[in-house]
Each structure stands twice: as structure tokens, then as C-alpha cells.
Amino acid sequence: MDSTQEKLVESLRKALSRVSMLAEGNNPELDAILQNIRANLSKADDPRVVQSALKTIEPYILKFDDERLERAQAFRNALHEMMDSLEGLPDKQLPLSEKKALEADIRAHWQSVSNWPSLLAKTTILIQTTLASPPKEPKKNIFTRILGGRKAGKQSDGPTSPEIMAHVSHTLAGLLTNIALSDEYEEQILDLKNALTGNQDLNQLPGLLDEVINLILIAVGKTQEDLTSYLSQLNKQLASINASIVNNYKVQKNISTGRKSFGDELKQHVVNTHSDVNNATDLDALKSLISDRMNTITETMTRYQSKMIEQEKHAAQSISLLRSKVNRMEKDASSLRNDIQQKIAQAMSDTLTGLPNRAAYQDAIFPLLTAASQSKQPLCMAICDIDYFKMINDNWGHLAGDKVLRIIPQQMQNTLKSGHLLFRYGGEEFVILFPMSTIDQAYETCQKIRQAIEVTPFNMNGEPVSITISIGVSLFDGKESHDELFDRADKNLYQAKADGRNTVIRDI
């Protein structure tokens, strides 16, 4: 292989390894980059084309790397925050040597997603050890601790425990929001999020952490499996494209060697003819000599011509094979792109109601806050909660509860205008965002929603049942944090519940 071919193969190898790095981050932009590489591979007889494609791709790769690093940093910080929270527990002792060992593990492995479950598992053990200190009772396993192993009144949490638990729960719920799993896990994730939300019992943390770890293990395993099989396929395809290019090169080389030997042969015939002509003594001998030479030259040319035709046919076949391989890669990448898009859509929508879910809410709210503060346009938020929903489940069953959860957002949508955004935030809680709406407008719409639900005839086992909702509305002040805006809407909701429910309370 000459140096040009070596460079080309080297570039392809580089491309593959960089693509692998990108794929590890599971970023949809990967497809665009793959497309670029493939487009250039299809004209890859010139390695400079591939090299320039790689140069264009370089900044994207760096960007993806940065994003992956940011996620890993957030994870590392969450673990450190958990440890800080444990350290702040009154009456509990965080064991120093275990803490140091975990810190060393975090330092060594925080960047590798596949090590996250094991880091979380070690954190769980540290939490258990800390909670069990100072030694008061024999150590019980996680399940005994959760399932009734606790005596009434044993609650020994210090004054900061609920805050710590709220903080840790928030972190874990965030982790759950970020993992992509199929529909069959939807209910498990929802239950786990519900169990985390509002849970103030720090003693339940190890059990909940265990469940989060299991789900992350499943998600990491699935993603790795998908990507590994895609990358091994991609690897094979690139290797086979390499082989085709090398083969093509050999064919081209054969052609040029053939051309040279034909030239040499022809030259030799001419030289021989020339010397024979010089040495010839009579005309008849000269005539027959020239005729012999002409025949030999014609034969050589015919042989060369048919060899050329055969080699060209071979080259055309190998180019068309190469083209079909590139097309196949295009198809694979496009199906991967569809899969990724489908997974993103799944991860962003709630299966029961079809509404955008909490992850979608988190994606939407921050750009809206930024836009509102820059444009000085108003932005309102409403948190809607179904009244006495637990009673509906208790009286008519979970399926009836689910039916109510499907009907209520439909009624809400009928009243909302275009531009208003409705999300299922969790359980029986919905959030509405009102971009470019004043608090009066948002309040008026919420009152209409409340009235519409109040008069909707729900039918439970043939019985007409009236269901109501309570709503808290807040207005973004242009500079506050998301949490402040959300907390105010939540406080207003709390007030609406306290005022007897079926009520809308707004910022004054």
C-alpha cells in the first residue's frame, strides 16, 4: 500500500474511533456527523477529502465531550452533596475511612457512566453505615429496614433530616428523569418518583437508592448493548469499505502496470522491426518480415485491449459494491436516527395521558424564563392538582383513577389557547405555562378550567361523580429563579386546598 492509501486507512481508523467516542454520549447530532463522514467516504479515493471532513467534525467532538463532562461533573457533585448531607446529620457519625475510600473511588471513576451504578451502590453502603451509627441495634438488611422493621416512635431524624431527604430525593428524581427506558418501566419509574417526592424519612433512603441503581443498571446495559451492536456493525462496514478501496487501488495499479508492459512490449517490437529492416537484403523477405511484425503488434494490441476491458469491468463492479456498502451504512444510520428520535419522544411524553412529561417541562421552562426576562414579556405558571384523588382510587379502583387522569387534561386542553403549554408533572399534578400572558389572563383561564372540570360528568361504575381541581398561579417577576416561581405557585395551590379546594389562588 502506498503512503496515500496508508493515510486514507489511517484517517478512516481515526474517524471510527472518534465516532465511537461520540456514540458513547448517545447524542442525536451524531447522525449528522456520521452522514458527513459517509458522504466523504463515498469519494474516499482522495484521503484529503476525509481529512478535511474530520477537521470540520473536530469542534463538534470537543463540544460533545464537554457536555458529557458536564453531566459527569453534575453526578460527581450530587454524590459529594449526599456525603456532605450525611456529614451534617446530628447524632450520626460518617465513618472517616469509608468516606475517604468512596471519595477516592469517585475521583477515579466519576467520568465513566458505566461505573455510576457501582459508585451509587457504595454511596448506599456509606449511608447505611452512617445511619446505623452510633451502634444501637444489630444491622438489618435493606428490606427489613423498609418493610416494617422500624418501631413506632423510633424516628430519630434530627431537625435537618427532612431537608436532607428532600435534597437527596430531588437529585435521585433528576437522575431518573435522565435515564431512557422502555414503556414497561414507566410505572416503576413513576412509583419510584412518587416514593421519592415528599418522602421525609431518611431511613428509607438506602432502599430507594437501591431501586434507582437497579434502573440505572438496566438503562446503562440497554444503551451499551444497542451502541455496541451498532458500532461493531459500523466497524465491519468501515473495514469492508477499506478493503474495497485497497482492492480498487490494486486494480488501478494492475492497469498501470499492464499499460507499462504493453508500452515496453510494443517498443521492443518496433526496435526489433527497425533492426530487422536495416539488416534485410531483399524486398520479399522485407515484406514478409514487416507483415509478421504487424501481426504480432496487432495481437499484442488485441490482448491488451481485452485485458483492459476485463479490468475496467472489474473496477466498475468494485465501485458499485462500494457504493452499495455506503448506501447500506446510510440506511443503518437513518434507522438509528429514527430509533434515537423515538426514544427521545418516548422519554419526553407521559404514556397514560399522552401529555409532555416532567422531563419535557424541565426542557421547556428554562428557555421560557430566559426569553421572558430578556423580552420583558410576562410569563405565568399554574400548578393544578386533582382534589381528593386518593379517594377516587380507594373507592373505584386504580383503573378508574387512571381514566380520570386521562379525561381531566383533555378538558384542560379544550380551554387552553395555542401557546399555552400543559404538562403532566407527576401523579395527579399538572403544570401549565402561560408565555406572554398577564396574571389576570392566566387566572381567568385557570378559573375556566376549574369550572369546566367541575361540571364534567364523571361516570364511576354507572354513578355520576363530581370531581374538582385546585390551582395555584404565579407570575414570573423577570429575575427570580425557577424554584422561586414554582414554590409560589405551589404555595398558592396549598392555600387553594386549605380554602376548601375547587379553588384558584393567584399571586396578588
Ligand X SMILES: Nc1nc2c(ncn2[C@@H]2O[C@H](COP(=O)(O)OP(=O)(O)OP(=O)(O)O)[C@@H](O)[C@H]2O)c(=O)[nH]1
Q: Which residues bind ligand X (CB under 6 A)?
A: 194, 352, 385-391, 393, 398, 401-402, 405, 427-428, 497, 501
How far from chain centre, in Å, is Cα 335?
Answer: 15
Letter string b/e over residues 451-481, b meaning 16 or more CB atoms within 10 A of that residue's CB:
eebeebebebeeeeeebbbbbbbbbbeeeee
Nearer to ligand X, 188 or 273 (CB): 188
Cβ at position 508, least distance to ligand X in Å: 23
3-class secondary-structure state, position 269: helix
Cβ at position 180, least distance to ligand X in Å: 20
Nearer to ligand X, 194 or 370 (CB): 194
Whether the Cβ atoms of residue 207 and residue 127 lie closer than 8 Å to each other:
no
Distant-in-sequence, close-in-space partners of 20: CB < 8 Å, separation ≥ 6: 231
Distant-in-sequence, close-in-space partners of 501: CB < 8 Å, separation ≥ 6: 387, 388, 468, 470
3-class secondary-structure state, position 100: helix
Cβ at position 138, least distance to ligand X in Å: 34
Cβ at position 391, least distance to ligand X in Å: 6
Nearer to ligand X, 297 or 352 (CB): 352
Cβ at position 219, least distance to ligand X in Å: 21
Cα angle at 340 between 336 and 344, to 5 degrees?
170
Nearer to ligand X, 363 or 499 (CB): 499
Nearer to ligand X, 449 or 475 (CB): 449
**What cell was used for 348?**
419526553
Determine whether 196 is exposed, middle or buried from the number of CB atoms within 10 Å of its CB (0-12, 13-18, 19+).
buried
Residue 463's nearest CA partner among 400, 390, 387 is 400
Cβ at position 426, least distance to ligand X in Å: 7
Cβ at position 454, least distance to ligand X in Å: 14
Nearer to ligand X, 322 or 422 (CB): 422
Residue nearest to ligand X (CB): 401
Nearer to ligand X, 201 or 276 (CB): 201
